[in-house]
Amino acid sequence: MTKVIDVELRGIMKKFQSNVVVQNFNLQVEQGEFISFLGPSGCGKTTTLNMIAGFLDPDGGDLLIKGQRMNGVPPYKRELGMVFQTYSLFPHMTVAENIAYGLKLRKVNKQEMQERVNRVLSLVKLPNVADRYPKQLSGGQRQRIAIARALVIEPSLLLLDEPLSNLDAKLREELRDELKRLHHEIGVTTIFVTHDQEEALALSDRIVVMNHGFVEQIGTPLEIYNQPASEFVHTFIGKTNRLEGEVIGMDGDVLTLRTTGGMLVKAAKQQRTVALHEKVIIFIRPEKIKLTDTAVSDEANRVKGHLQLASFLGSYTECEVKAGEHTISVKVQMTDKSVEREEGQTVYCQWNADDVLVMPAGRG
Amino acid sequence: MSKRLSVTLLTAPAMILLLGVFILPMLMMLMLSFQDENQAFSLHNYSLFVQDPYYLEILWRTIRVSLWTVLASLLLGFPVAMYMAQATGKMRGIVTMLILAPHLISVVIRNFGWVVVLGEKGWINETLISLGLIDQPLRLLYNELGIVIGLTDSFIAYMVLAIATSLYAIDPSLNKAASILGASRMRTFFSVTLPLCLPGIIAGTTLVFSLSMSAFVTPALMGGTSVKVLPVIAYEQIMATLNWPLGAALAFLLLGSTILLVTLYTKLIETKRYKEVFAS
Amino acid sequence: MKKINVLGLITFFVLVLVNLPFLVIIPSSFTAAGYLAFPPEGFSWQWYEMILDRPEFIDSLWFSLKLATVTAILATFLGTLAAFALSKYKFRGSGIINALMLSPLTVPSLIIGISALLFFTRIGIAGTFTGLLLAHMLISIPYVVRLVLTGLSSFDYTLEKAGYMLGAHPLRVFWDITLPLLRPAIVSGMIFSFLTSFDNVTVSLFLVAPDTTTLPLAIFTYMQETLDPLVASISSVVILLSLVFIVLLEKVYGLERLFGLNSQSH
């Protein structure tokens, strides 16, 4: 099966005055793919989306949609769907009129218009709000209608600009699942811009992690999480313990490291090569660390400390362990067997060499 | 369409009007005010103002009348603003409507109403005489008092609105905070409410002052022929005496002294501390 | 509680005071006597019938209505265009243009009137409808600009983006989305311009000629000569007319909002 490329960015560059905000962006989006642009604010993700939508023109490189070069084509000729963070429903039109607006512009006849509006309303599970005004709907409902309005014209590409950011936590999760369901149902190629790593991980086929206008990594959620290409990617996605240290031994693929606090860490094979005696940064995810009352493993990858803080968060407990000069975060999952721990208690933190990520210091 | 072209096309009609009917004529007027009878450059019109006590007396009267108007609007307007700030939605709406609506009806008509009320054979005098409280009608009109009444009626809405706006902006929990700390209502008013609505008071007083200084219709109708203010004199120079250069100079002197006084006033009242608190 | 009552009392007093002129004028206009008096003596329509015999009032009423209507339409059009440019585009000099647009509000009407007289005399339009129209547009435009700018400041420009994305041409977006949402601001700009022109005396004063006199000015001139119930009856007509527009303005926009903008800068 040959891949159909829906969107292609070739060396896209954008600057505002002399300030480069997107640098050499290359990407191919396959038909039906759900791609997220993830990064902190100011990383260039929204600028890139605006270039795809046609609100901005790239200062360099080519943008292709369905194989056609789109540079300079105004947004209203691109046949795309877009959903905005602020819903952006027309307040002076009813829900039905909002959805039908795109169809009206395409001169779809009355009866077909009616059918398509109804179909898309049931698709977003709001079949009974057609005659209401946006003001009369809740935030979640408004965003569903905005999605319906974007989908009804059957766009070649759906652009989502932080569509969940204005919703409160519970609704956000609900609508996130809804987006996933919709994407499974209609399979429209989707580009999703977000600063929320959980949303990106949950929804995407692939994620583009961006920072300061550069693409840091493009990969599946699993690749991004487990094999980060840079310190930025690793720290931006999920919580982590960051330790500084030095390579003091190499035994085949296994590294022995000593932290600045004197702790011994063993690490399994790494993607990035490091040299003996090289200064390194060591990352261990909190959920990979186990808390025990007694020492189980050997001297490396084990540290004794005091439980300084334990915050119960429902399905897990977030702990902070003070071990020498290190403060280690540990995420303890709630299981039947979990013991209630008290702050001040002496505990051991232990982890596997497979779960240690080592990167050369000062090389990004 | 490029941005520059859009901006030019959109703003050009209004800009042409503003430059052609306002800025350019004003420059012409300024130049004219420096001309003597032979159209030569001269400071005569301005020096006349300083030399002739007649004009200084007129200027002083204009300022005096404006100050009284400011005082009257402040004393009457402040309680109204307070009331509006404390009132609930519906009542506040009614008060707002009743204080603002008169403002949209011609000042000539409002002044006429006052003439009917205050005149020698007006409502007040007739009532007082019929009650036997006075023998001779009181002189309420065609003097400075008449002008102040008319101007206060004209401009009090601006004062009320300026103060009410700043009162609305005060966080109501501040009053609670002051009470919890042990301040009486009076104390709360003087140490919290009054200082925080100072910007409103300043805006209201400067606005009412500037408007009163340049008011023409009310002084002409309620001041009569003997009590003249600067705008009336300027009008007469232009339309009756046809001494346009002097009329123009008088109008600019009026504007200049208004700006000078307002600037002095704000400089005086807006201390360093005030600026720090209300810096935008 | 007691304090609110004192405030309420003063407020009531002030409200009566500012509305007193109308409370006096309207009854006086129905007097049966031949002279001005309050309270009026008897009841009659004679002073209203008298208006019909005074062409200077009838003519100037029509003239004023015509002038105010044309002023409102043109000032709203010009002001709205300018406000759009100021709000939508960031460009060098926009601060200066903005200040210029509002500047007629900061200069006394007296100076506007005199300078217009000087200029219009030179170009030969003093005392004409055109001259009055230009001057009235000048003093109305700042209000329109301010109202529309305020309307635009709360306008969500992503709505326009949403329109483009659905395939609407920019002109279509303007017509279907931007304009309907700004209607309250634009309509109240228009009504306010109408009233500004219809009420004005100080600027008109310098620009009228015998056959081009506005109604307020006709009343002003008449009042300086004679004070009789005729002034009351013609004034009542004007009050009634103005009231229609004031109610309209309150419905469309709200007076409080309108004046809230008004008093903030001068």
Assess whether A222 and A254 both reside in one domain.
no
By Cβ distance, the residue of B14, B216, B244 closest to C78 is B14
With CA atoms as reference, the chain C residue closest to B97 would be C255
pLDDT, one tens digit per residue, over B110-134 is 999 999 999 888 889 988 998 988 8
- Confidence label for C226 from pLDDT (cuts 50, 70 and 90): confident
pLDDT of residue C56: 85
Would you call A101 and C163 a contact, using CB atoms and an 8 Å cutoff? yes
A169: domain range?
5-235
Nearest by Cα to A107 from A50, A153, A67, A69: A153
d(CA B5, CA C179): 21
d(CA B25, CA B208): 26
Select C55-264's CATH number: 1.20.1250.20, 1.10.10.10, 1.10.3720.10, 1.10.287.3510. Answer: 1.10.3720.10
By Cβ distance, the residue of C18, C89, C104 closest to B156 is C18
Assess whether A152 and A226 both reside in one domain.
yes
The fraction of chain C above a pLDDT of 90, given in percent, is 65
Radius of gyration of chain C (CA): 22
What residue ranges do the domains of chain B occupy? 1-32, 44-278
Chain C nearest-CA distance from A51, in A, is 13
Count of structural domains within chain A = 2
Exposure letters B134-154 (e unless 16+ CB within 10 A, then b): eeebeebbbebbbbbbbbbbb
- Confidence label for B224 from pLDDT (cuts 50, 70 and 90): confident
Cβ-Cβ contacts under 8 Å, A89 against chain C: 162
Cβ-Cβ contacts under 8 Å, B97 against chain C: 250, 255
C177 touches chain A (CB under 8 A): yes
Assess whether A218 and A246 both reside in one domain.
no
Select B44-278's CATH number: 1.10.1060.10, 1.10.3720.10, 3.40.50.720, 3.30.70.270. Answer: 1.10.3720.10
Assess whether A213 and A246 both reside in one domain.
no
- Confidence label for C261 from pLDDT (cuts 50, 70 and 90): very low
Nearest by Cα to A77 from C177, B222, C170: C170
Cβ-Cβ contacts under 8 Å, C174 against chain A: none
When comparing pLDDT for C263 and B45, which is higher? B45
pLDDT, one tens digit per residue, over C232-259 is 999 999 999 999 988 888 888 777 777 6
C223 touches chain B (CB under 8 A): yes
> In CATH, what number is assigned to the domain containing residue A303?
2.40.50.100
Cβ-Cβ contacts under 8 Å, C259 against chain B: 100, 103, 157, 161
d(CA A46, CA A319): 36
d(CA B13, CA C78): 6
pLDDT of residue B208: 96
Would you call B80 and C22 a contact, using CB atoms and an 8 Å cutoff? no
B93 touches chain C (CB under 8 A): yes
pLDDT of residue C262: 39
- Given a cut of 50, the residues of chain A with pLDDT beneath it are 364
- Of A217, A235, A253, the residue at which a domain comes to its end is A235
Instruction: Check pLDDT > 90 for residue C69.
Output: yes
Does chain A touch chain B (at least 3 C-beta pairs within 8 Å)?
no
Residue B267 φ/ψ, nearest 5 degrees: -60, -40
pLDDT, one tens digit per residue, over C191-202 is 999 999 999 999
Chain C nearest-CA distance from B86, in A, is 8
Assess whether A95 and A162 both reside in one domain.
yes
pLDDT of residue B192: 87
Would you call A86 and C180 a contact, using CB atoms and an 8 Å cutoff? no
Which positions 151-180 of C are in contact with B (Cβ < 8 Å)?
none
Would you call C164 and A74 a contact, using CB atoms and an 8 Å cutoff? yes
- Of A191, A213, A235, the residue at which a domain comes to its end is A235
- Confidence label for C260 from pLDDT (cuts 50, 70 and 90): low
- Confidence label for B1 from pLDDT (cuts 50, 70 and 90): low
Mean pLDDT of chain C: 89
Q: What would the mean pLDDT of C59-72 be, rounded to a whole number? A: 96
Name the E strands within chain A: 5-16, 19-30, 34-38, 60-65, 68-69, 81-83, 158-161, 190-194, 206-211, 214-219, 241-251, 254-259, 264-267, 279-284, 290-292, 302-312, 316-323, 326-333, 346-350, 356-360
C25 touches chain B (CB under 8 A): yes
C5 touches chain B (CB under 8 A): no
Cβ atoms of residues A89 and A149 within 8 Å: yes
C81 touches chain B (CB under 8 A): yes
Which positions ≥6 away from A237 have C-beta within 8 Å? Answer: A38, A197, A201, A209, A224, A225, A228
> Pairing mode, if any, of strands A158-161 and A190-194?
parallel
The CA angle B67-B73-B79, to the nearest 5 degrees, is: 140
B6 touches chain C (CB under 8 A): yes
Instruction: Check pLDDT > 80 for residue C4.
Output: no
pLDDT of residue C263: 36
Cβ atoms of residues A64 and A10 within 8 Å: yes
By Cβ distance, the residue of C158, C164, C181 closest to A75 is C164
- Of A172, A205, A235, the residue at which a domain comes to its end is A235
Chain B nearest-CA distance from C239, in A, is 7
Assess whether A258 and A288 both reside in one domain.
yes
Assess whether A340 and A250 both reside in one domain.
yes
- Confidence label for C265 from pLDDT (cuts 50, 70 and 90): very low
